[in-house]
Amino acid sequence: MATFPTARAVRMTPEGLLWEPSERWVRGRKGDVTVVDSRHPVLVWEPGLPVPLYAFPREEVREELLRPAKNPPTGTHFGSRIFYDLEVGGGLLENAAWTFPADDLAGHISFEWFRRSGRGLDHWYEEEEEIFIHPRDPHKRVDAIPSSRHVRVEIDGTVVADTRRPVLLFETGLPVRYYIPREDVRLDLLVPTEHSTGCPYKGTAEYWSWRGDADVPPNLLWSYPDPLPAVGAVKGLLAFYNEAVDITVDGERVERPVTPFSKTPAARPPT
């Protein structure tokens, strides 16, 4: 009889790093140059960070493009042993790659993701699908479920959305997000902005800010015009940061959550 593991296959190094082999085919590019082409990547979770990184066997990395870092940083990536600059396309990307200080990960190299840190490789693929910001956590679930709940949203006492046909997005470790049809949102009270973010689970989001004088952060409303297939139910719908507005569901006020988005929501990708 076949048996299947029931616990996470994550391992911990003596230094406190969590890691797990992945069976996904992962490629990383800078422009048109493929720097990483790996069928044996490893997911690594640094202490205190909720999202993983990839580390790759050296033989699946184009090491000839790496140079010992001229100005290696300190106190980043959990005390990494060695940093590398990446020379590609006639340019030099400082501290684009590093090794972790763990014997379990000896022989592996990690890379910065441009859309996460502002430097590093700018295109990443799992199999044939491009992913953004960071690898997708295999232990995280995202479900977009149509609902008939009555959802009302207020900003500084003004009702800005009222619907009985939301889509509720449940994402592991984060508060429920209420995606609302455009017809049920007072978009005349908001203004579109140039801001956008990418999410490896949902796609690329566009934003709106509040027009009024209320003390709320900018970019507090977002939408995915072309979401990834797994969350296709939110296509074109609008969601507010629970952390910045007042939401009532079926007559019950939802407590504002405290999350990494609480102070400056749009500084991080929406959920």
Superfamily grouping for domain 11-131: Domain of unknown function (DUF427) (2.170.150.40)
| 110 pLDDT above the threshold of 70 | yes
pLDDT per residue as tens digits for the range 239-255: 999 999 999 999 999 99
Listed by start position, the domains of the chain span 11-131, 142-267
Does 190 have pLDDT greater than 60?
Answer: yes
Closest CA relative to residue 38, chosen from 101, 115, 111:
111
φ, ψ for residue 229, nearest 5 deg: -55, -35
- Answer yes or no: same fold for 11-131 and 142-267: yes
Question: Residue 194: what pLDDT?
Answer: 96
Q: pLDDT tens digit string along 18-49? A: 999 999 999 999 999 999 999 999 999 988 88
Bigger pLDDT: 7 or 266? 266
Average pLDDT, stretch 98-114? 92
CATH class of 142-267: mainly beta
Euclidean distance between CA atoms 113 and 115, whole angstroms: 6
Check residue 215 and report its DSSP letter. S
Three-state SS for 244?
coil
Check pLDDT > 90 for residue 80: no
The type of residue at 209 is S
pLDDT at 6: 42
User: How far is Cα 87 from Cα 75, in angstroms, rounded to an integer?
Assistant: 23
Instruction: Transcribe 6-40 into DSSP letters.
Output: -S---EE-TTS-EEEE--S-EEEEETTEEEEEESS
**Cβ-count burial of 48 within 10 angstroms (0-12 exposed, 13-18 middle, 19+ buried)?**
exposed
